[in-house]
Structure 1
Amino acid sequence: MSGTDLVHQGHGEPRPPHHPNYFLLGFVGALGVLAAWLLGEALAAVSTVLVYILVALFLAVGLNPLIETLRRQLRMPRWASILTVCLLLIALVTAFVWMMMPPLADQVTTFVTNLPSTIDALQETRFFQNVDERFDVLERAEEAVVDPQVGQQVFGGLVGVGQVVFNSLFAIFSVLVLTLFFMASLPGIMDMTYRLVPRSRRAGVRRIGDEIVQRIGDFIAGQLLVAAIGGVVAFLYLWAAGSAYALTLAVIVAVTALIPLIGTTLGSLVATLAMFTHGPVIGVVTLVFFLVYQQIESYVISPRVMRQAVDVHPSANITAALVGGALMGLVGALLAIPTVAALTIVLKKVVFPRLERR
């Protein structure tokens, strides 16, 4: 047998060209699209629960430095440190409610008591009489009161408000329970997360992870410091202005200041509206005072505190808060700044060194 025959025998007959199975490709592609759609629907259905988990995990990580400080300084077991922090938070919430409820109840009672006389005085004014002659305000108001559809709408609105209140209380309770769970199991969760990294890189990842946790705790501490400064300044001014509810309004200013970007503005508006009840002059003065203080806080106090806490440029903080608020509302604005701080740590410790070695 010649060499040419062996070559032909080894290669055999030429194979026909391979044609892809378009039906199989389309079927697999359709299954992939269906799986992606089902996954998106599932994530949308549990998005609220995922937000609860994310907020609780953020709070647990943020409170962890305080727990570790109590554990090291006072030599307390971790469960005792967690219990101390929880009792402290409960005490702060109780004090806030205790300061808020009496003046709020007094003002509501005063408003309801004076409502008939206020309406009578309004009807006697020349302005209201002219408006009533042109638009029949009183007649339309009486028709609206006796209209059954209006009653149904009011009842539906009350039911909606009750549902919102119930959902809010349920959300707060869920977040608190999840936060307590995450605080107790945070070391185990972090150790399990680090074990997913190869052993050769585990030490470096642990250092970066611990630094990120510390930065989140520093962010919460910095935000609390900014809020405390705002509350103290508001109390001193309102007390000097003679407000009977200086402490309550100051607490409102401090609590709302925990909200990035718009928090101080909301609290200042509440305090300003309350001071307008004492007269237009003191109301305008209060408005000017809080406008000036808001500029000082935005450009002096908050940038310095947050720069030391999260080591992120103020422009990046503002941009992150705006983007987070647009994506996830208030929760996104709260989580955006520590997220940017974590990304900054990864860039400085991992990405930039690798790029420099190339």
Structure 2
Amino acid sequence: MLLIGAFVAATLWLLTLLKTIVVPVAVALLLTIMLTPVRRLLNERLRIPRGLSAGLTLIGLIVVVAGLVTLAGQSIANGFADLRTQAVSGFNELWTQLAATFGLENELQTYSQDILDQLESQQSAIVSGALGAAATAGSVLVGALIALFCTFFFLHDPRGIWSWVVGLLPKSARERVNQAGRRGAVTLAAYTRTQILVAAVDGLGIGIGALFFVPSLALPIAILVFVGSFVPVVGAIVTGAIAVIVVLVSNGWVAALIMLGVVLLVQQIESHALQPFLMGQAVSLHPVAVILAVAAGSYAGGIVGALFAVPVAAVLNTVILYLNGHDKFPELGDEDALPIRWRAADAPPIPLRLRRSAGAVPTVDTTPEDATPDEEADGAPVAGAGAGAAADAGPDAPGTAR
């Protein structure tokens, strides 16, 4: 258990160290899951070559996102600025009313003065953080390029990349890891598509509710709720509270209570209807496991950790259960075996005529007659490497291949 704990700790430390690469690759996996049906439609139905269909799918995603940002960019930018102002005013008003109700005026002034003193003492740190924003923007740009690059190749050749990864493992573990990975991919696909649908329902429902009270801020609130819903439990609560506070500032307590009822209704529909019905058995995690995963992810990786905590936990749950004999997707079967090497399983063995050396028996064939196709495939690179090394040694060296 100590060794396993040390391995997990070292893995988490390495992932944190390489987060500029790890996070874009994780985003690329999620994008690949979402875009795979489109790529298959272009490739299988319209007979477009695989590489071209992957490129068209990715270009289509970029065009759609850029078009949405262009069409609604100005209103969203202005709306988010107003939303920030309204939210800050709402928090101040709420805090003032609570202070007046419970007699906390002196404490409020003390806390405000303490906050101002802390800000004044941390001016150098604030300036340093502002200067580091350029580096952060550069990291985001690099991450976006890595994510797009990986997404294209994940769409173009997913089986080839997975075959290479599995081929790095010992032969006895390859098939089990391959089958466990297939089931993990099904779990990740179910989680991603379901979470997008749930977030869309949350954003649409709360956005329609906000449309009756703050029409100019309805679109920013809907987008904020949609993005926040990808953080399970916590995101929906925080974004719903912001919507209620904005309506409180704009329209008073009665409208805020009605908006609170809308938020609670949408969240109840999500938690009691959408989540159980859509997730089903694909992502079977107990609510306690979800809360702990989000807390651990946010502590270890901030907002990014909270976003990826639940899908990682769901995939690990499926993979570990399969490796321990409990298959959540028996309908997938075990027939889909990957060719681990790039040589066909039914290809003939590579014959090599080796010169006789003192005390050695000449080898005619590099593959035993009773070898399995997997062993033949595994022997091919070794034979090729030996032949190349012998050829480099010179024409008169023992073991030179013809």
TM-score of Structure 1 vs Structure 2, range by shorter chain: 0.5 to 0.7
Q: Does 1:240 align with 2:216?
A: no
Equivalent position SS for 2:250: coil
**Structure 1 residues 135-154: aligned runs within 5 Å:** none
Residue pair 1:303, 1:314 contacting (<8 A) in 2 also: no
The separation in 2 between residues aligned to 1:209 and 1:151, in whole angstroms, is 50
**Could you report, residue by residue, the CA deviation over 1:93-141 in whole angstroms, capped at 9, with x for unpaired residues?**
6635714213345678999xxxxxxxxxxxxxxxxxxx99xx9xxxx9x
Q: CA deviation at 1:55?
A: 2.0
Distance 1:66 1:253, change over 3 A: closer
Contact 2:83 2:220 in 1 (8 A): no
Matched, 1:205 2:177: yes
TM-score of the pair, normalised by structure 2: 0.59
Partners of 2:85 and 2:288 lie apart in 1 by 46
Residues 1-358 of structure 1 mapped to structure 2, 5 A cutoff: 48-75=16-43, 76=48, 77-78=50-51, 80-85=53-58, 87-89=60-62, 91-92=64-65, 95-96=68-69, 98=73, 99-104=75-80, 156=124, 159-163=127-131, 165-186=133-154, 187=158, 188-199=160-171, 201-241=173-213, 243-280=215-252, 281-307=254-280, 309-352=282-325
For the residues of structure 1 that align with 2:118 and 2:184, how far apart are their CA atoms?
54
How far is 1:338 from its partner? Answer: 2.3
Retained in 1: the 8 A contact 2:86–2:246? no
Q: 2:207, 2:309 → 1: CA distance? A: 30
Post-superposition Cα deviations, 1:299-336, rounded to whole Å, max 9, x if no partner, equal 43334333354244444333333333333333333333
Equivalent residue for 1:117? none
Residue 259 of structure 1, CA deviation: 1.6
* Superimposed CA distance per residue, residues 211-267 of structure 1 (whole angstroms, 9 cap, x where no aligned partner): 212322322211111110001101221223353321221111111111222111222
Q: How many matched pairs?
A: 293
SS at 1:269's partner residue?
helix
| Structure (1/2) with the larger helix percentage | 1
Give me the whole-angstrom Cα distance separating, in 2, the residues matched to 1:86 and 1:269. Answer: 37
**CA distance in 2: counterparts of 1:234 and 1:158, whole angstroms:** 35
- Which amino acid letter does the alignment assign opposite residue 305 of structure 1? L
Q: Is the 8 A contact 2:20 2:143 kept in 1?
A: yes
Separation of aligned partners in 2, 1:160 and 1:299 = 46
Q: How many Å apart are 1:297 and its aligned residue?
A: 2.5
Q: Residues 260 and 165 (structure 1 numbering): CA distance in 2 closer, same or farther, change over 3 Å?
A: farther
Instruction: Give the superposition deviation at 1:91.
Output: 3.5
Gapped runs of 5+ residues in structure 1? 1-35, 112-130
Q: CA deviation at 1:43?
A: 8.6
Whichever residue aligns with residue 56 of structure 1, its letter is: P
Distance 1:157 1:326, change over 3 A: closer
Conserved? CA contact 1:228–1:254, under 8 Å? yes
Give, in whole Å, the separation in 1 of the partners of 2:85 and 2:305. 37
Letter in 1 for 2:309: A
1:74 alignment partner AA: L
The verdict on how the C-alpha distance between 1:107 and 1:204 changes in structure 2, with shifts beyond 3 A counting, is closer
Task: Measure the CA separation in 1 of the matches of 2:120 and 2:293.
Answer: 44
1:86 deviation in Å? 5.3
